[in-house]
Amino acid sequence: MIRIAGVFIVILQLALVGPASAEQVKVVEVFAGDLVAVQGDKGRTKIRLMGIDAPENARDEGDPGQPYSQEATEYLAKLVLGKTVEIQSWGKDRYGQEFGVIFLGGENVNLKMVRSGLAEVYRGRMRKDFDENPYKAVEMEARHRQIGMWSIGNIYISPRVWRQRQR
């Protein structure tokens, strides 16, 4: 048991340490719990948080969106809006938005969103070189503690399923 806990701590520490070659940018807008806009040397860029999926915001006025979507957006804004962060880029998604892991003061913000129960590990196909194990570990912890979106129990719907039902 102690050996497993030690391995978990090492994995978690690796996920929290920012990459040495990360680009420093300022977060200028938060659209959702997994999407921000940053301003840097390359201009303004949208960054989709790699490896996570936050509850979906409302598409139309008057639509409440998915439970915990507003909380996820507000929490991410509280963490990073107006702050200089480091972005580890993972390429672009099919919409031309850049995938990235955000680090603030050396802490992995993407991982923090999952740990807080305001995002889950992305359920789609992930890049093979992206280590999702630390994300899965903190998601299991958040589920066990029943925090954030995990507090609603069986009525919880994955953002991926939510999007499919909205089509």
Which residues in the chain come in under a pLDDT of 70?
Answer: 1-21
Closest by CA to 110, choosing from 81, 71, 79, 82, is 79
CB atoms under 10 Å from CB of 94, counted, come to 5
The DSSP result for the chain, as a single string, is -HHHHHHHHHHHHHHHSPPTTPEEEEEEEEEETTEEEEEETTEEEEEEETTEEPPPPPSSTT---STTHHHHHHHHHHHHTTSEEEEEEEEE-TTSPEEEEEEETTEEHHHHHHHTTS-EE--S---TTS--HHHHHHHHHHHHHT-GGGGGGGG---HHHHHHHH-
Helix crossing, 2-16 with 133-145: angle to 10°?
A: 110
Full-model pTM: 0.84
- The number of domains in the chain is 1
What CATH number corresponds to the domain at position 43? 2.40.50.90
**CA distance to 4, 80, 82, 83, 111, per residue, from 105 (Å):** 28, 11, 14, 10, 14
**pLDDT for the residue 21:** 53
Main-chain phi, psi angles of 18, to 5 degrees: -75, 150
**Could you list the residue range(s) of the whole structural domain that residue 93 is in?**
2-166
